[in-house]
Structure 1
Amino acid sequence: MKYSYFPLQHILNQHPHISKHAFLDTSLEFISYKNNNIVMIGDSQLVSTSSSFNDNEDEILSVSDFSHLFHHNINMNQLSCTINASLDLFNIETVEKISQRFHFILNQLCVSINDNQISKPMYELLLILSNEQYLIRSLNNTQISFPSSLTCIHHEFVYQVMKHPQKLAVELDDQSLTYCELLYYVQILFFTLVNEYHVLPGEV
């Protein structure tokens, strides 16, 4: 976005005639706080934060469609993330998928830091989750296991002729051949090569 390095107020002043800016539908906030009055409920910590910001003294813009908040607790030296999404625009499954993907990327970044690979470029990070990788591998795995007795391709071809004699085996433009017809022409070619040209098995 043009002038993205400006403070937010300067960016909004570039287009004073627009009542609602499209880029405000998605927000990323980083909040660093130091609070000695920590409220804990079990393992959860309550933090008072705001999901809106002031454009000027008279107007408050609310971040409602999608927001990603980072909370940095200086006292505990902890970093937590919160994703808020409008259910009018996002399914719960979609938000869960976004959070899983973000968590997966963070894990890769942490591994890169531990392995002293901080210079690793961002485009080398994987975005595909493990279950999606498994799905892609299963879709690309087109290998078919044939019975051990059918070790040669011509054996398998004859088996298909016997199983589906009237099904189409070859089709090109407006012409087609069934398995039975294709076997007939293959046999004619075979006898022609053997009887007229004296071709021996293994020479072709």
Structure 2
Amino acid sequence: MTEGYFGQRGITDSTSETNAIQFLIRQAMGEVRTGIPVKIIAVHGGGVGAAPTVDVQPVVTQIDGQGNQTPHGIIYGIPVSRSQGGAAGIIMDPVVGDVGHMVISDRDTSALRSNKGDQSNPGSFRMHDPADGVYHGAMLNPVTPNRYINMNGPGITLADEFGNTIITGAAGILINGVLIDRTGKVTAPSDVIANPGNISLVHHVNTDVLHGSDDSGPPKAS
């Protein structure tokens, strides 16, 4: 028995030469990949240093003419885009389970990657291949951030998962959290002013304290 397979051709695609040509054009255009949503399967490297690479799986499945689905396989070693200029950057690497968008280069970039960004010939004649994608960040992520920089305004908020925040506003900068250095001390470069009262930590003199002898115990207020 001969088995048949359902393709993408519609009822009218073979009724005229024009329709047949248009069908062939649509099929060819379907091979042009520009960008696809993907899920992070694994993360390699990252942190303070070069941006990581990721293994991803496209999350929009393939279907045949009858609607039968075929999941995509995993695409390995995709570079991650990072907000960086020279030695300045924001490090926010993706994690396993993130769903994001991958932009696909129109030519083979494997030689370019091997040469660390130096000008290179295409590694092959392949075009619009998901293997030449670049991961560009999260989308459809249901997780609420607990470590972030919020620049929506007014002002800027910098927060972490421990409850520490730095909030800027018209009145100044509000810091919530304990200010410590590695020795556990708080250090100010010149002075600390307490309000209300405009009291200087460096220059304030308490005139209501009586000095005691070496063995008289702590001073007592007059």
Give yes or no for TM over 0.5. Answer: no
Q: Which has the higher strand share?
A: 2
TM-score, with length taken from structure 1 = 0.23
Q: Which has the higher helix share?
A: 1
Q: Which of structures 1 and 2 has the bigger CA Rg?
A: 1
Question: Which structure would you say has the larger RCO, counting Cα contacts within 8 Å and 6 or more residues apart?
Answer: 2
